[in-house]
Structure 1
Amino acid sequence: MLSACGGSAQGPSRGPAAPGAVPVTTTVVESRQWNDTLAALGTVNARESVTITAKVSETVQRVHFESGDRVAAGDVLVTLSGNQQQATLRAAEAAAREAEQQYVRGNELVGQQLIARASIDTLRANRESARAQVAEMRANIGDRTIRAPFAGVLGLRQVSPGALVTPGTAIATLDDIASVYVDFPLPEVRLASIAPGQRVFGRSAAYPGADIEGEVQIVDSRIDPDTRAVTVRAKFANPQMRLRPGMLIQVRLEQQQRQALMIPEIAVIQVGRDTFVYRVLEDETVEQTPVTIGVRREGLAEIVNGLEPGTRIVVDGTGKLRPGMTIVEGTVQEAKSQPVDEGEAAGGAAP
């Protein structure tokens, strides 16, 4: 006697086995809930990502972070030398104070009619110019304090105190990976079955056996004319920071549930272009029944055509059978009408 796939129930008593009967395992085909999936390979992208650089050419005075630090938006990362700019700022502030005083005196003299009213316009212009000089110098000094534009995790530190940096010099990378995006392509023929909010499962080679659940965020508005594929973006929560930008992810996009006739894949026999199963007749003999197979996944196969619910078929022991042979079964497995998850699918595939 052979053991059935997955859970099993003792088959009904059918009397003494006929001489020469072949021991097999059978199952009764029934309709069940099934989720189709679309598989693809995707790449992880951070929600926000930037390479920190300097805006000016200057020497690094102090580095305020270490590689891998988590920082908040606005935290100071690097301070550049700015002694010359500080001196220039003090001179500009002094000139601004003098221009302000000249403007105030001018207003008093105009009120006493001691100077022409046109002179006050010149004094006002001098005051505004001095204020602009102060603002410009403060902006130059601000460019020498490099801050984090958003909260995230810093990558490897690329500079040290005393190093000369120029515009475009990489200081470190900054990524917000509290949640990440995974972009993956799907054929354009599947476009009608993709929508925001659908569940997506991802798996990385770095963490085998661990599925991460996300959802479709957006479907690209364009189709690649070369590959005829559309890019889908899924969002994944990443509280443990396992997913890193650039990682390759195996993606499974789950479709809506539907009714399907699913049987263990080991019951399907392929001979050349012919696909069939062994159907059990009332007299405990078998016959070959041609079938059309739909999806296959996790040890299960969908029967599109050829079988009806309630049909009894041979699951294990098909290698010994020929049409017309008599069988005797050991343990009968009956397929139940219930939602199928990956655990059930994997369990049903193992004899």
Structure 2
Amino acid sequence: MPHAVPTPRFARKACCAVLLTLALAACSAGEGGPGGGGAPAAVVTTTTVAMRPFNDRIRALGTVQARESVEVTAKVSEVVERVHFESGDVVAAGAPLVTLSGQQQQAALAAARATADEADRMLKRQQELAAQQLIASATLDTQRATRDSALAQVRQIQANLADRTIRAPFGGVLGVRQVSPGALITPGTVIATLDDLSSVYVDFPVPEAQLANVAVGQRITGTSTAWRGRGFEGVVSNVGSRVDPASRAFSVRADFANPERLLRPGMLLEVELERAERQALLVPEIAVVQVGRDTFVYRVRPDDTVEQVTVAIGSRVAGQAEVTAGLAEGDRIVVDGTGKLRPGGSIVEAGSSGADDDSGETTDEASGG
């Protein structure tokens, strides 16, 4: 029986059916690849979350204050007779700074001394007469009172003369001289500033949440823009007894030794207070993804797919972030490569044989294409 010859139209339909079958088979093979949906596994680096020793720091800003600081002023109205210092001098406690004119007080002192001497001589004569019972004891008592009053007058004038010499109340560095010989000064006139810079202190605010982490004796480090690259070591000397209800912060005072007098009153100092070492759940800071107000990491499932996990971050120090909620010790997270991940996506560890195979297949396809 003779065979029927297929028409060209039937041949074209058969060819299309074969090609469709081959395309469906290729798609099925692609769906069975890593990651599902035909998406290749992302090459990333991962780490296992663990509890580690952690030292974080409390940072704040404070203003430098001298250990002792005062504006030197006069107590009386008088003309300046002599100035014993220059601007910027370092003086010891009790050093004379300014001498005021005291001619009237010197004359009054001479008269008072003469009166006191005469009263004393008179008292001695009357004591001799009283011993011979030639005068009444009341007369002797009156003369003794007169002598004592004259001596008190001498001491009063001597005190007034002492006020004519203005002395440094403590050792320190003098500021700019603001008086000259011949000038009339009055009580309250500033002669110069005096600061004891051998040590300084800084008061700075700390949030009340850190109250349990601050104690007297803790070490502290300060830095200033005036001395870049140089740190100043100090110690906490006082923790405030009250919390400000407006700012919810308390005041802390730290003392700094200042032998070179590099720190000056009024300077802004950035301080870092190191907290006591504790155990914390730490992750590399680059593993933490921040999108708006959401903070999360990518956690790796046992089947090497990833999921987004919302976490709470505490302190951050030296590239490490403290996780206070959201992760547990032993969780495996993605560190590098988070930018190319999506929830549910597959990953492969960089440097593993799977990552090398993927890279080799790409090269072969490129050379064969």
Query: TM tier, shorter chain?
Result: 0.7 to 0.9
Tell me if the contact between 2:305 and 2:347 (Cα under 8 Å) persists in the aligned partners: yes
Q: Structure 2 counterpart of 1:128, which letter? A: D
Aligned to 1:324: 345
C-alpha offsets along residues 235-262 of structure 1, whole Å, 9 cap, x if unaligned? 1222221222222222223222211122
Aligned to 1:239: 259
C-alpha offsets along residues 85-144 of structure 1, whole Å, 9 cap, x if unaligned? 112111211211111111111111222333333221121111111111110111011001
Tell me if the contact between 2:41 and 2:345 (Cα under 8 Å) persists in the aligned partners: no
Residue 272 of structure 1: how far off its partner (Å): 4.3
TM-score of the pair, normalised by structure 2: 0.77
Tell me if the contact between 1:284 and 1:328 (Cα under 8 Å) persists in the aligned partners: no
Larger Rg: 2
Q: Which runs of 4+ in 1 moved over 6 A?
A: none
Aligned to 1:258: 278
Aligned to 1:113: 133
CA distance in 1, matches of 2:239, 2:322: 29
Aligned to 1:229: 249
The answer to whether 1:203 aligns with 2:208 is: no
Tell me if the contact between 1:24 and 1:330 (Cα under 8 Å) persists in the aligned partners: no
CA distance in 1, matches of 2:229, 2:348: 39
Map 1:330-341 → 2, pairs under 5 A: 330=351
TM-score of the pair, normalised by structure 1: 0.80
Aligned to 2:72: 52
Tell me if the contact between 2:56 and 2:316 (Cα under 8 Å) persists in the aligned partners: no
SS in 2 for 1:101: helix
Q: Structure 1 counterpart of 2:101, which letter? A: S
Larger relative contact order (Cα-Cα within 8 Å, sequence gap ≥ 6): 1
Residue 71 of structure 1: how far off its partner (Å): 1.3
Aligned to 2:164: 144
Question: Would the alpha carbon gap of residues 313 and 227 (structure 1) be closer, same or farther in structure 2, given more than 3 Å must change?
Answer: closer
Question: Would the alpha carbon gap of residues 26 and 41 (structure 1) be closer, same or farther in structure 2, given more than 3 Å must change?
Answer: same
Map 1:1-351 → 2, pairs under 5 A: 22-280=42-300, 286-322=306-342, 323-330=344-351
CA distance in 2, matches of 1:88, 1:42: 52
CA distance in 1, matches of 2:138, 2:211: 72
Question: Would the alpha carbon gap of residues 313 and 190 (structure 1) be closer, same or farther in structure 2, given more than 3 Å must change?
Answer: closer
Aligned to 2:5: none
Question: Would the alpha carbon gap of residues 75 and 211 (structure 1) be closer, same or farther in structure 2, given more than 3 Å must change?
Answer: same
Tell me if the contact between 1:21 and 1:328 (Cα under 8 Å) persists in the aligned partners: no
Q: Structure 2 counterpart of 1:41, which letter? A: L
Tell me if the contact between 2:44 and 2:347 (Cα under 8 Å) persists in the aligned partners: no
For the aligned residue pairs, the C-alpha RMSD in angstroms reads 2.6
Structure 2: state its 5+ residue gaps. 1-34, 353-369
Question: Percent identity of the aligned residues?
Answer: 63
Tell me if the contact between 2:51 and 2:329 (Cα under 8 Å) persists in the aligned partners: yes
Tell me if the contact between 1:28 and 1:312 (Cα under 8 Å) persists in the aligned partners: yes
Residue 297 of structure 1: how far off its partner (Å): 3.4
CA distance in 2, matches of 1:199, 1:93: 60
Q: Structure 2 counterpart of 1:103, which letter? A: L
Question: Would the alpha carbon gap of residues 310 and 191 (structure 1) be closer, same or farther in structure 2, given more than 3 Å must change?
Answer: closer
- After the TM superposition, which of the residue ranges 103-112 and 183-192 deviates more from structure 2? 183-192
Structure 1: state its 5+ residue gaps. 1-17, 332-351
Tell me if the contact between 2:56 and 2:317 (Cα under 8 Å) persists in the aligned partners: no
C-alpha offsets along residues 290-323 of structure 1, whole Å, 9 cap, x if unaligned? 4332222343211223434444433223223344
CA distance in 1, matches of 2:129, 2:325: 103
CA distance in 2, matches of 1:270, 1:231: 32
C-alpha offsets along residues 169-217 of structure 1, whole Å, 9 cap, x if unaligned? 0011111121112112223343343322222222222223433222221
Residue 77 of structure 1: how far off its partner (Å): 1.0
Aligned to 2:4: none
Tell me if the contact between 2:201 and 2:256 (Cα under 8 Å) persists in the aligned partners: yes
SS in 2 for 1:206: helix
Q: How many residues align?
A: 315
SS in 2 for 1:256: coil
Question: Would the alpha carbon gap of residues 192 and 292 (structure 1) be closer, same or farther in structure 2, given more than 3 Å must change?
Answer: closer
